[in-house]
Amino acid sequence: MAKKTETRPATASINPFGLRMQPELRERLETSAGLSGRSLNAEIVQRLEASFGHNKRTAFELLRRIIEVVTSTEASLQRMRADIESYQAGDKVPLAWLTAPGQIQEDKKVLDAARQVLDLIEKDLAKAKSFVPVLIEATKSGGPVPEEIYSFLAQA
């Protein structure tokens, strides 16, 4: 006897369901939906299904996104370090974006500003890297993902 396969009704045949929520929650859901490439409705459905023990896929998608952020942030860090070295060697072009158009800044001020940007990039990189083990664990266990990770990715 053939095994019966589960089928879902076509989306058009599903009755709409109105849902009220706080604007902050909706914003977080929309951000998460955008990061995962889903519609708001699909994100809500996925999260409801995940509440029944299917959280691993979401954690894996977030892990993939964090790895992308780490990779791009490391590249930005390398570029910024190279730009600082070029500036110190006399090439003012790489850090020209740190000065107002038409104004000449003292080298010390430009380098200080560049180092502040470098520091911010390093902090973002450290934070992103700190989320990797948390997301690996959530991917394995299907456990919850801290809200801080969603917030971080929304700003990345």
Q: How is the chain split among helix, strand and coil, in percent rounded to 5?
A: 70, 0, 30
Q: What is the largest CA-CA distance in the chain?
A: 82
The backbone torsions φ and ψ at residue 63, rounded to the nearest 5 degrees and listed phi first, read -60, -45
Read off the pLDDT band of 46 (50, 70, 90).
Answer: confident
CA distances from 3 to 6, 8 (A): 10, 16
Q: What was the pLDDT predicted at 82?
A: 96
Cα(120)–Cα(29) distance, integer angstroms: 27
Q: Which two tokens stand for residue 13?
A: 């045949």
Tell me the pLDDT tens digit for each residue of 9-30.
676 788 888 889 999 999 999 9
Q: What was the pLDDT predicted at 1?
A: 46
Cα(78)–Cα(82) distance, integer angstroms: 6
Cα(132)–Cα(60) distance, integer angstroms: 10
**Average pLDDT in the chain:** 87
Tell me the pLDDT tens digit for each residue of 104-141.
778 899 999 999 999 999 999 999 999 999 999 999 88
Residue type, 142: G
Task: Out of 40-49, 68-77, 146-155, pick the least confident.
Answer: 40-49
Q: Which position has the higher pLDDT, 105 or 8?
A: 105
CB atoms within 10 A of CB 105: 16
